[in-house]
Every structure is written in structure tokens, then in C-alpha cells.
Structure 1
Amino acid sequence: MLSAKNLFQEILDDDGSFRLFCSIAASGESQGGWENGRIAALVPASQRALAPKIARHGADEDKHGRIFHALLRKRGLTAVPVPEDTDYTMLLEKHGIGLAHEQLGREEPLTEHDIITYLAHSRVTEQRASEQMRLLLRYFADHPDLGRAVRMISNDEDNHLAYCHEELLRFAAAGHGRTIQHTLRVCALAEIRVYRDVSLAVMEHMGRVLGWSRARAAALAAGIHAVYAYERLLGWRRMVSLAPPGRADALGGPVAPAPEFA
């Protein structure tokens, strides 16, 4: 039976597909850690109070990258190069979403508009991350190898999403509401296209590793296109709404120590 749980289980049970899965995840998290670290260092003077929260966000992403590498080591595996067509972060940048690595690599302070762009981009991508981790949490919270990692990362992603809501609402109250809504909409519509393309690429690579039949590959691709059609019509709206989060000041505390899984 073709189901999300069975698909994930098949990927996790095979060393080759598990290696690719963890490599892609670790790369994306590490990129996010670097980006947030640079943004924290370049925050404009008017928003210096945000710097510790942005740094905390980056530290969490770095921690997640280490966790995925530790999961590989626990199975005696090493990371593999990430195929370009599965690089979610860089593909978003190519679509003009978020702050470019070239800009973050300079030593020029960011503007308040840059910070709003960063928060809107993060609000959209953290929505995706939170949903993906909750799906894994539903199936693998008690898994002997993955359970601890999934629980920790899922909690962190929920914190990141809460922080984005809170800070964007603060900027909206300061008069930036229309800019925020426009930026969120542009980000959301671009993200769902990139997510579709990355999902198709990941499934193609996984299919080669696992030897899927053409019929199964076609069925999975059809499912991905169906999700995109729904998100293009209605689903993107969940990524642009703003509401006071249930977790106040979610990134205001100290960074939790990164556990070792190897």
C-alpha cells in the first residue's frame, strides 16, 4: 500500500536512501545555520534586540545538521554530495526569495526591510519545516533510532515558527503590515513551486536508489503534483496568515545543548 508512513519506512530501512535523506536534511539545516548566524551579525542598530533570537535560530539549525550527521554515523554511514536539484535553500534563493548569500557574505549592516524579508521568508519555510517534522513525529516518535531526534527537531521548528509570527506581528504593529503581507504572498507562491520541484527531484533520486518501478514513480509524482495544485489554489494561504503564537518569546531562552546520537 502506498502511504506516507510506508514510503518513509522504506527510505529509512535502506542504507543508500537513508544516507541521501540525511545528507539532504543536514545540508539544508547547516545552510540555515550559516544564514541566521550572518543575519544576527548584520542586524541594524534599530533591531539589535533581535540579534540573540536570530543567533538562537541559527544555533538550532546547526544543531539539527549535527543530529543528521550523527544519525548517519550511528549506522556507519557518511554523507554524500547533495544533488543540486534537491537543494531547497539555494533554489529558493535563485527565485529571489530571502536574503542572498552574496549579500550576507558582505560586512554591510542589513536594513529593517531586510529583516522583514528574512522574517517573512522564515515564516513560510518554517511552516513547511514544522509540518514535515510533525508528520515524521506522528510515525516515528517512538522509533528506537529516530525518535529522540524527531521529537527535538519538531519542537525546535515549532519554536521557530512561533518566533516568526511574533516578530512579524511586532513589525506589522509598527506600520509595516502591507509590506509584510506582500512579501509573505510572494514567498509562499515561490516556496510551493520550489517545494514541488525539490520533492519531484528527491523522489527521482530515491527511486533510482531503491529501484522503484516506473508505475510507482509515476504515482508518487502524480501525488506531488496534486499537492502542488491544492497549494497553488488554496493551501498557500496557511503560510501567509499571522496570529499571536501559543509559545511566547519562543527563542528568548538559552540554547539547549545538542545531544549526541552516535
Structure 2
Amino acid sequence: MISARSLFQEIVDNDNSYRLFCSIAASGEAQGGWENGRIAALLPASLRDLAPKVTRHGADEDKHGRIFQALMRRRGLTPTDVPEETDYTMLLERRGIGLAHDKLRRDEPLTELDVITYLAHSRVTEQRAAEQMAMLKKHFGDHPEVGKAVRMIANDEDNHLAYCHEELLGLARAGHGRTIQRILRECAHAEIAVYRDVSLAVMDHMGRILRWPKAKSAVLAAGIRAMYGYERLIGWRRMVTLRMPERRNALGGPATSAPEFV
């Protein structure tokens, strides 16, 4: 029987699949770090109080990228090129989700709508990240090679998700509720489609590296498509609800360091 645990163990045990996994993860985290850094620099005057939290968000993402790079170095591996079809962040941007990189490269202040778009996009994508890391923490939190990294990143992702909930609720109270809900729905529906496509692409690459039989690849692809069907029908709703998190002011302090991964 194919399980998440056995699948990830197979990926971790093979240098080539592990290298691809870490390279994809490191690239995505680095992009997130850059985006948050630019957003922090371009916040409008009315929302400048968010700058320390957005900066911390970006610092966490940069740290995660360094962690995945360090995991590769420990095996004597170097990063590999990330296949375009597995680039989750880029594919979301192509669908018009989040803030375009062209906008972030300009030295023009963002609008309040831009910040709402950023937070709504982050709320959806951080939901996915928190769920994935919770799964990895459950199965690999005690793994001698990746366990510490998994636990650290999982805690950060929970903080990021809590931060998005809290800030969006504050903006909703300020009168932006309908706009927030509209953008959340748009982001959620786009994200579940991109996540399906990226998952299929990643599994295709892993299957070729690990020489999976066609039957195994077909079962995995069917499972991914079935999950998409569920998310398209009802699962997307978990990505658009807002509730006050137990972790308040989750990004209110300085970013935690990870010297052991530098």
C-alpha cells in the first residue's frame, strides 16, 4: 500500500530525488523571501505598522531556503534546476494570483488593496504549507536527518498562517470584509488547480528518477486528481474561512535563527 510516509521515505532515501525535492522547496522559499522583503519596503503609509511582521515573514522564508540548501550540502549534493512545471509560485503568479513580480520590482508604494491581495494570497498558500508540514512532522518529525528541519519549518508555517488570519480579520473589521472574501475565493480556486498540476509534475519527475512502475504512477496520479475533485467541490472552503488564531501576534518578534543549518 502506498502511504505518504512510504512515499516520502523513498524520496529521502535516493540522492537524486532528495536533491530535486530540496531544490524545489529551496527555490520556492527563496522566492517567498524576496516577495515579502519587497512588500515590506513598499507598504503604503496607512499600513506601515505591518512592516516588521512582513519583514519577519520574509526572513523566515529565506531561512527555510537556507535550511533546504544545508540539507543538500550535508549529503554532498548541489541544487538542481527546478523544472518550470513544478514552480508553484511562478504558476500562481501566471494565473494572476498574489502580487505580480513586475509590480514588486518597481519602487512605487503599494495600495491597501495590494496589501489585502498579498495577505489573502498568503492565507491560502500558508494553509497549504502548514498542512504539508504538519503531515511531514507527523511522519518525519523524529527522522535523524530531516526531523529537526521539519519541526522548525512546521512551527514557522503555523505562525505565518496565524498572522494571516489575524491581520485579515483586522482589515475586515475596518470595512474590507467583502473584498477579502472575494479575493480569498479567487485565490483558493486557483491554488487548488495549481497545486494539482504541480503535484502531478513532481510525481512524474520522481517516478522517472525512482523508476516507479506505471501502475504505481497511475495510482498516485489518480489520488492527486481525486484530491483536487474533493477540494474543488468543498475542500476549498477551509482556505477562505477566517478565525482568530490561538497564536496572537505570531510574527511580532524577531525571526528565529537556525545556525545549525547555515
Q: TM-score if structure 2 supplies the norm length?
A: 0.99
Output the CA distance in 2 between the equivalents of 1:100 and 1:261.
31
Q: CA deviation at 1:261?
A: 3.2
Identify the residue that residue 128 of structure 1 maps to in structure 2. Answer: 128
Output the CA distance in 1 between the equivalents of 2:27 and 2:127.
19
Alignment of 1:88-103 (within 5 A): 88-103=88-103
Contact 1:74–1:261, Cα closer than 8 Å, also in 2:
no
Structure 1, unaligned runs of 5 or more:
none
Secondary structure of 2:238's aligned partner: helix
Q: CA deviation at 1:68?
A: 0.1
Output the CA distance in 2 between the equivalents of 1:10 and 1:66.
23
Output the CA distance in 1 between the equivalents of 2:182 and 2:261.
41
Identify the residue that residue 252 of structure 1 maps to in structure 2. Answer: 252
Identify the residue that residue 220 of structure 2 maps to in structure 1. Answer: 220
Identify the residue that residue 162 of structure 1 maps to in structure 2. Answer: 162
Alignment of 1:195-210 (within 5 A): 195-210=195-210
Q: CA deviation at 1:259?
A: 2.7
| 2:26 is aligned with 1:6 | no
Output the CA distance in 2 between the equivalents of 1:259 and 1:155.
17
Output the CA distance in 1 between the equivalents of 2:138 and 2:58.
26
Secondary structure of 1:260's aligned partner: helix
Identify the residue that residue 105 of structure 1 maps to in structure 2. Answer: 105
Identify the residue that residue 45 of structure 1 maps to in structure 2. Answer: 45
Output the CA distance in 2 between the equivalents of 1:211 and 1:141.
27
Contact 2:162–2:248, Cα closer than 8 Å, also in 1:
yes
Output the CA distance in 2 between the equivalents of 1:227 and 1:171.
32
Secondary structure of 1:203's aligned partner: helix
Identify the residue that residue 70 of structure 1 maps to in structure 2. Answer: 70
Q: TM-score if structure 1 supplies the norm length?
A: 0.99
Q: CA deviation at 1:258?
A: 2.3
Contact 1:56–1:255, Cα closer than 8 Å, also in 2:
yes
Identify the residue that residue 238 of structure 2 maps to in structure 1. Answer: 238
4+ residue runs of structure 1 moved beyond 4 angstroms? none
Q: Which amino acid aligns with 1:38?
A: R
Identify the residue that residue 211 of structure 1 maps to in structure 2. Answer: 211
Structure 2, unaligned runs of 5 or more:
none
1:2-49 per-residue CA deviation (whole Å, 9 max, x = no partner) reads 111100000000000000000000000000000000000000000000
Output the CA distance in 1 between the equivalents of 2:124 and 2:164.
9
1:209-237 per-residue CA deviation (whole Å, 9 max, x = no partner) reads 00011111100000000000000000000
Contact 2:66–2:261, Cα closer than 8 Å, also in 1:
no
Q: Which amino acid aligns with 1:158?
A: D
Provide the aligned C-alpha RMSD in A.
0.6
Identify the residue that residue 171 of structure 1 maps to in structure 2. Answer: 171
Q: CA deviation at 1:255?
A: 1.3
Output the CA distance in 1 between the equivalents of 2:256 and 2:244.
24
Question: Percentage identity across aligned positions?
Answer: 74
Output the CA distance in 1 between the equivalents of 2:219 and 2:171.
43
Q: CA deviation at 1:155?
A: 0.2
Output the CA distance in 2 between the equivalents of 1:244 and 1:257.
27
Output the CA distance in 1 between the equivalents of 2:182 and 2:227.
23
Secondary structure of 1:80's aligned partner: coil
Output the CA distance in 1 between the equivalents of 2:49 and 2:149.
30
Output the CA distance in 2 between the equivalents of 1:258 and 1:147.
14
